[in-house]
A = this chain, B = another copy of it.
Amino acid sequence: MDDAAPLNRYQLAELGSLLAEPARTAMLLALVDGTARPAGELAHVAGITPATASAHLRRLVDGGLLAACAQGRHRYYRLANDRVAAMLESLSLARATAPRAWPTKADAQLRRARCCYRHLAGALGVAFCATLLRRDWLQTGSRGLFLRPDGAAALTASGLELVDAPLYGRSCLDWTERRMHLGGPLGVMLTTAMLQAGWLRPLPHGRALQPSAGGLRQLGILGVPLD
């Protein structure tokens, strides 16, 4: 799946082999919505033991259909690239509805917004990061994600007091949303600024963060979709 050149008979058969097993197709179908999911969850989705799932996931990664990224003691898997998703779509297997999320005992507040290693996570963190990327305020450089000047200006205009130093961020997987959000020093700095500006308020117990009315208003103005 690296180049767009026509596949020969062997490459096509190899691709077919990867799709030839219901356990593997179940995992792929669970990932077509772009989420990244840990191996154990994919094993459960496929109805097989973690040992068997590990072998399948290895084959899918070796075959270029999946990408793995370890985070803590979890190992998240996602589709390798957009073309894999498009290929699956073209096989008419894209489901209209996203696969149901793994049942989590985390309460609603925790799922909505929380701090993750000092930066913003949860649905709000994912949406905020997606917005920065969509507006090209966040860009990928050799040393990681960095904030472009126009993005910094927009955030400052919204009331955030940003640190002037060139900070870099990195993608961080969200364990409830299963999507990327902004971590690293840049993520920490932005989250700290939001806390200082009163957009977010830490709840007494746990890591949940409570967005304020004013914070939600400012985020909405910036273009962040709010539930």
Contacts and interface: CB of A to CB of B under 8 A. Distances in A.
Interface in A53-107: 87, 90-96
A13 B22 contact: yes
Interface in A151-197: none
A90 B85 CA distance: 12
Contacts of A95: 6
Interface string A1-29: 00011111110110111111110111011
A94 B6 contact: yes
A152 to B, nearest CB: 41
A16 B13 contact: no
A20 B22 contact: no
B92 A5 contact: yes
How many copies make up the complex? 2
Contacts of A26: 9
A28 B225 CA distance: 46
Contacts of A9: 22, 25-26, 29
Given A91-B87, A96-B6, A19 B25 contact: no
Given A13-B25, A20-B16, A20-B17, A7 B87 contact: no
Nearest to A1: B92
Contact of A7 (B5, B6, B16, B93): B93
Contacts of A19: 12-13, 15-16, 19-20
B93 A90 contact: no
Contact of A90 (B5, B16, B91): B91
A5 B92 CA distance: 7
A16 B25 contact: yes
Contact of A25 (B12, B21, B87): B12
Given A12-B29, A13-B24, 17 more contacts: A6-B92, A6-B93, A6-B95, A9-B26, A12-B25, A12-B28, A13-B19, A13-B20, A13-B22, A13-B25, A16-B16, A16-B21, A16-B25, A20-B20, A87-B90, A87-B91, A91-B91
Interface of A: 4-10, 12-13, 15-22, 24-26, 28-29, 87, 90-96
